[in-house]
């Protein structure tokens, strides 16, 4: 067993037998800086949400989950610190794209729309206000950069590139169709429980048989834009369930992007943790 990734949030261990162990920590990053203070239970919330969605969408596409039981993992993971935040997964050949599904006119798409410009190959005939629901969700991929920032590309660019890399599989079209199906099913479930999934990103891989498999994390506040359906209002910037609270505190205190930050106040940690807990309770029906 060897550690192969120590990311902003996750630690990944390769068991070197076609399986990996992924540990989701309580670390939080904002403005490309990993903050020195942990957010209580954040990793457990992200893990619980991903595990819920993996099970919820397994009728649409296979996923990389094998087990969340520590007894199924090497004994190094048997201590309490790993409980609730650790999963055993199948190792995949990852597709080099993040697949972003957008259901609302917001963010960089809204900025392009206001200028009358197409957004990554998508044009809009009707008039939209900020945060208004699109008639139909769209897919806008981005390349996964080894270093630096990912680069947004059109869906046609991804399809053409994957056709060249994996000829005869029609992989790009399968990914687009699968991502939209996952988004639509999960969107309806979340909405019934008071959360609007405005946009999200998925990552896919291929298993040993060349079949498409959903991997990484799924529909968490870290990989998605979750809005409170009760307070949502078209024409505004809706309140989020993600790390916006901590981002706002950093900006207010001129600490955004400052790698020398020493700590985050306890009340900011508590409020951020509370939002994560509220999110998992609404979506799964139970708290940790």
Matching residue, tokens 């639509």: 184
How far apart, in whole angstroms, are the C-alpha atoms of residue 184 and residue 195? 13
> Which CATH number is correct for 93-228, 1.10.1200.10, 3.40.190.10, 3.30.470.20, 2.40.50.140?
3.30.470.20
The neighbour count for residue 117, using CB atoms within 10 Å, is 9
Mean pLDDT on 252-260: 94
Classify burial at 226, counting beta carbons within 10 Å of its beta carbon; exposed 0-12, middle 13-18, buried 19 or more. Answer: buried
pLDDT tens digits for range 30-81: 998 999 999 999 999 999 999 999 999 999 999 999 999 999 999 999 999 9
C-alpha to C-alpha distances, 53 to 48, 110, 284, nearest whole angstrom: 9, 28, 9
How is residue 107 written in tokens? Answer: 């963010």
Question: pLDDT confidence of 245, banded at 50, 70, 90?
Answer: confident
pLDDT at 94 over 90: yes
Q: Please give the C-alpha separations between residue 206 and each of 91, 156, 159, in angstroms, as whole numbers.
A: 9, 20, 16
> Model confidence over 137-189: pLDDT tens digits?
999 999 976 655 679 999 999 999 999 999 999 999 999 999 999 999 999 99
Q: Domain-by-domain residue ranges, the chain?
A: 93-228
Q: In angstroms, what CA-CA distances link 186 with 52, 139, 205? A: 11, 15, 20
Band of pLDDT at residue 238, cut at 50, 70 and 90: very high
């Amino acid at each position: 067993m060897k550690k192969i990734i120590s990311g902003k949030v996750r630690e990944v261990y390769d068991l070197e037998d076609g399986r990996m162990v992924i540990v989701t920590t309580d670390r939080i990053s904002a403005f490309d800086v990993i903050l020195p203070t942990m957010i209580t239970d954040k990793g457990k919330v992200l893990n619980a949400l991903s595990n819920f969605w993996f099970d919820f969408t397994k009728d649409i596409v296979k996923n990389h989950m094998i087990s969340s039981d520590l007894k199924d993992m090497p004994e190094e993971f048997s201590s309490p610190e790993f409980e609730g935040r650790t999963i055993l997964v199948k190792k995949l050949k990852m597709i080099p794209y993040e697949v972003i599904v957008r259901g609302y006119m917001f963010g960089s798409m809204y900025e392009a729309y206001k200028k009358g410009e197409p957004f990554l190959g998508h044009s809009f005939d009707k008039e939209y206000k900020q945060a208004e629901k699109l008639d139909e969700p769209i897919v806008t991929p981005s390349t996964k950069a080894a270093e630096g920032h990912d680069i947004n590309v059109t869906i046609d660019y991804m399809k053409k590139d994957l056709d060249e890399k994996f000829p005869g599989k029609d992989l790009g079209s399968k990914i687009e169709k699968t991502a939209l199906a996952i988004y639509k099913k999960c969107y309806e479930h979340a909405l019934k429980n008071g959360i609007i999934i405005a946009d999200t990103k998925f990552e896919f891989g291929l298993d040993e048989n060349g079949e498409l498999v959903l991997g990484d994390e799924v529909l968490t506040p870290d990989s998605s834009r979750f809005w409170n359906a009760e307070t949502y209002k078209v024409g505004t910037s809706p309140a989020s369930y993600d790390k916006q609270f901590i981002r706002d505190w950093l900006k207010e205190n001129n600490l955004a992007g400052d790698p020398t930050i020493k700590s985050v106040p306890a009340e900011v940690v508590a409020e951020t943790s509370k939002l994560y807990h509220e999110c998992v309770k609404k979506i799964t029906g139970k708290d940790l």
